[in-house]
Structure 1
Amino acid sequence: MTAEPTVTSFAGLHHRPGEPLLLPNAWDHASAATLAAHGFHAIGTTSLAVAAAVGLPDGRGATREHTLRLALTLGSEPYLLSVDAEDGFAGDPDEVAALASELWTVGVAGINLEDGLGPRDRHAAKIAAVKAAVPGLFVNARTDTHWLGDGDETDTLRRLDAYQQAGADGVFVPGLTDPGRIAALVRRLDAPLNILYSPTGPTVSHLADLGVRRISLGSLLYRRALGAALDAAVGITAGRAPGGTTPGYAEVRALERSVSASRSANATG
């Protein structure tokens, strides 16, 4: 995989009017490979799943090495990868830029950086540092005004304006589900708007009509997987056969073989 075509393709997926990028979020090789095999050409990671899988807290900067390890596993695969890097796992913009450089080196096309409602100037500085260090990496700048805050519109706009000015390629407002406010934000922004899909919010087609350019599934698939595992265990205990889609043993082994093939290709390439 060469750098420039990868990045150009990933950025281009955010600039198709009426056809937003639907980005499913994986948490390991098997989940990413399964999604890619079913036609998803771009895949994100989810920090909640990365943290939960190893028993660490999400959003606390505890999973930097786990995130890098996952990026190393997935970055050389034949799909476009965006990594959820929390707030960059550091307060120092130079340290965040160093992380971004590591991700770029292993084939990552995009990074998601959240402000966690910290100072907007500090988050803007992180974005600027990343773009200076790795200009081709797609930076999706997330503000948590609707996720952790009270959804103040003025604060949201100030933060997004600062992040755009710092060089963000896209902006992300998880927790925002009101169609009118989404449409107003699209009209106000220069960068593509990313919205977190909610089963109780607008549909994908509605979000497309509103002008949203990227729709993330976040931790939804991981939480659904946990729920399906629990439902199956409880159902079997009660004498019921599990429903839903269950990949066969051979299908999962086929994913294992693709890992070996990928490693062989990397070793010879």
Structure 2
Amino acid sequence: MTPPNRPSQHALADTFRALHADPAGFLIPNPWDAGTARLLAHLGFRALASTSAGFSFGRGHADRSVPRGPLLAHLVELTAATALPVSADLENGFGDAPSTVAETIRLAAAAGVVGGSIEDATGRADAPLYDIPFAAERIRAAVEAARALPFPFTLTARAENFFIGRGDLADTIRRLQAYQEAGADVLFAPGISRTEDIATLLREVDRPVNVLLGAPGMSVDAPTLFAMGVRRVSVGGSLARAALGAFLRAATELRDQGTTDYTRDAVSGKELNRLFG
């Protein structure tokens, strides 16, 4: 059910854009369904972002294996759940062609989001990243589609080098600079974890940068990242993985011991009814 006081999409888009202009930075956690979105809103977060991993796991699928149609339906539910702006993880735009990426932006906007990310990973083992000129062309098509919308859609461009295990900082910077020139509003290199690499990236671009908190090998926290100049910090599928980890531990206890000690850490039904009522 859509909150009765949900602002217009244009107002939410303005709010989301303004968050990126605040030098203090902001956290953008990643719910994977309407319930977790409402819980995060209750906790006072100012914006939300979808997670392809969390959504896929919740449907019993591996990450990045859910087609565009179900994802768009998920975004409709997610955006209707709270009065917060929502940005979407749009993977690689669900196709190679720039025209397909542009169509994905338009469809995501119609689903209610006010921003979204496009990555440069192909999904193919033989050539896991698009060449930079073609990757930039795809971002340019996404930007053109975003600028044609009746509200300021915030487009995030992702360089996936570190995320796929290719920790090439120089190539990551070249990619993000190309996407910046193509018109991206926010830049994102998921998987980058060393503070010195993040600091170098921040010096080499002039767009707001998103950093994924909790990447393997990362020990830095959000306040430190904000002090460095990072404008947005997300957590990807880690909240979903934490919840599923607790579920597996509880179910294993039930199977092996026949006990329910796990309920000591469970939120009460009364509390959830109060929050969702």
Same structural fold, with TM-score higher than 0.5 when normalized by the shorter chain: yes
Q: Quote the Cα distance in structure 2 between the aligned partners of 1:201 and 1:145.
A: 20
Which of 86, 90, 102 pairs up with 1:81? 86
Matched residues in 2 for 1:35 and 1:212: separation?
Answer: 22
CA distance in 1, matches of 2:36, 2:253: 24
Describe the SS at the equivalent of 1:26.
Answer: coil
Find the partner of 2:266 among 237, 241, 246: 246
1:10 maps to which residue? 16
Using structure 2 for the length normalisation, give the TM-score.
0.85
Q: Distance in 1 between matches of 2:140 and 2:170?
A: 22
Partner SS for 2:262: coil
In structure 2, distance between residues paired with 1:150 and 1:134: 30
Query: TM (normalized to structure 1)?
Result: 0.87
Q: How much does 1:63 deviate?
A: 2.5
Matched, 1:221 2:239: yes
> Is the Cα–Cα contact under 8 Å of residues 88 and 96 in structure 1 kept in the other structure?
yes
For the residue of structure 2 that corresponds to 1:140, the secondary structure is: strand
Q: Percent identity?
A: 34
Looking at structure 2, the residues matched to 119 and 50 of structure 1 have their Cα atoms a distance apart, in angstroms, of: 28
CA distance in 2, matches of 1:215, 1:190: 17
Rounded to whole Å, the distance in 1 between the matches of 2:264 and 2:194 is: 31
> Aligned to 1:195, what secondary structure does the other structure show?
strand
- Report the 3-state secondary structure (helix = DSSP H, G, I; strand = E; otherwise coil) of the residue aligned with 1:22: strand
Bigger mean CA deviation after superposition, 213-222 or 90-99: 90-99
State the partner residue of 1:262.
none
On the 8 A contact 1:83/1:111 being kept in 2, the answer is yes
Contact 1:100 1:134 in 2 (8 A): yes
Asked if the contact 2:146/2:155 (under 8 Å) is kept, the reply is no
Say whether residues 1:210 and 2:211 are aligned partners.
Answer: no
Task: State the AA in 1 paired with 2:138.
Answer: K
Alpha carbons of structure 1 residues 244 and 182: separation in structure 2 relative to 1, 3 Å? farther
Count of residue pairs the alignment pairs up: 255
Q: 1:3: Cα distance to partner?
A: 3.1
Structure 1 residues 201, 39: CA separation in 2 closer, same or farther (over 3 Å shift)? same
Q: Cα RMSD (Å) of the superposition?
A: 2.0
Q: 1:197, 1:215 within 8 Å by CA — same for their partners in 2?
A: yes
Matched position secondary structure for 2:20 = coil
Do 1:50 and 1:66's aligned partners in 2 also have CA atoms closer than 8 Å?
A: no
Task: Judge conservation of contact 2:73–2:111 (CA < 8 Å) in 1.
Answer: no
Structure-1 residue corresponding to 2:69: 65
Moved more, 233-242 or 7-16: 233-242
AA aligned to 1:80 is P
8 Å Cα contact 1:111/1:139 also seen in 2: yes
CA deviations over 1:74-118 (Å, ceiling 9, x no partner): 223311101111101011111221121122123201101111122
Structure 1 match to 2:157: 141
User: Structure 2: which 5+ runs fail to align?
Assistant: 1-6, 122-128
The alpha-carbon deviation at position 8 of structure 1 amounts to 1.7
Corresponding residue number in structure 2 for 1:194: 210
Give per-residue Cα distances to partners, 1:205-238, cap 9 Å, x unaligned.
1111211111110000000001111222233453
